Structure 1
Amino acid sequence: MARAREPIGEGPACDADHPRPSGRPRDAALDEAIILATRDRLVRDGYSKMTIGDIVSDAKVTRPTLYRRWRNKFELVVDALDYGFRKQSDMYTVDLSQLEPLDALVEAVRRVDPAYYNPDAMVLMGNFAGEAFRTPDLLEILRKHAVEPRVTLIEKVLSELQERRAVSADIDTHTIATMCFGSYFAAFYRGEQQKDLPEHVVAVLWPGIVAKPEITRRRSGDRAGPGE
């Protein structure tokens, strides 16, 4: 994932005059321990309140161990987010063409659930929304790698259903996709059960988007007359 503009962050080196130190080969197990500790702190404390000290304590590593890998908190958080994005990337490329049209849309809506892979995703997204003014790059990363792939999945499935002539050709796929994604946030903030949300959302949408059978109406003048 391309790194966003780097803001000044917590750490001993936050500019181009202090390149990331080189040294012994990196231990993948330590990398993952630090990343997982970072993701946990993002949920519990949010970006602004989490500290490098808390992360190294949770991961049971030293500060030098962390700073050999990341120069500051922002770079660490970018990689912690990328870890999650890579884990869930396959869910956006699923082939739903073999399912019945309504079932395909239900499954697509199920997969846009922010908590489909990570049960803490709603809290994380809320935390990053709160950083919109302090650290806008974080929200932009989230928008690009967590929001757009989800709504694009819905748009893609709807376009495929249009090609199959299962839904109307003139529906607004962008708005429908946005509504499907937003329904999870509405349910979360209302404290409602989200287990059957995909079925409920599609049940409401489907009558308005399903392709209507063409009815051939003959004009009275086109009807065959007697003796023809």
Structure 2
Amino acid sequence: MNDFAGKNVLVLGCSRGIGAAIVRRFAKGGGKVAFTYAGSRDAAEALAAETGAEAIRADSANRAELIATVAGRGALDVLVINAGTLVLGDPLTLDADSVDRMIDVNVRAPYHASVEAARTMKDNGRIIVIGSVNADRMPFAGGAAYALTKSAMQGMVRGLARDFGNRGITVNSIQPGPTDSDMNPAEGPMAATMHSFMAIKRHARADEIAELAAYVAGPHGAMITGSMQTIDGGFGA
């Protein structure tokens, strides 16, 4: 499996969960992989040691730091933006600063990272944002702000796909449904409720999301752009 041999790959926000699985997949495929992390230093160092990838501490909410990190990797072949945060609750009582930080990480960071990467990205490069099925469906109360950030990504990838398409650069969103992670464990208190909305009544595995990212980033994904690649077990069906 050398589908990314020699490719310059940067994954933003991924010391654990889906992000870690994406790093493993691209590293296994022979990519020259670097990834960022914000707080989980031990997990990041362990992932770097396991995969041979380079771990870079960078806060996606800090625009200058984010842009410098992307620019510092040179001409990328693949950028995967996995950094994200989740704030749920009654919009009348949610902390406004927490909502604004979520917008910084989930909306502003993907836009600025994508634009910075495109400045030097090689022709036929790939930009992938890890979004959420909640961009299409929010079936419970308390998720308005989070859904706002994820639906914003849909407009962004459609627009940037047109902006960069003349260079063969594709821009897509992968939209997972419930996926087993520290934040949303398969045996967690919300699992039964989430499975009740699904056709396939289980959480996805992080490696399943990573395989879809690899497909979209690989040679077979050359004509997939401006799209929402939903992988949710029928959550939004």
TM-score (normalised: structure 2): 0.35
Between Structure 1 and Structure 2, the one with more helix by share is: 1
Between Structure 1 and Structure 2, the one with more strand by share is: 2
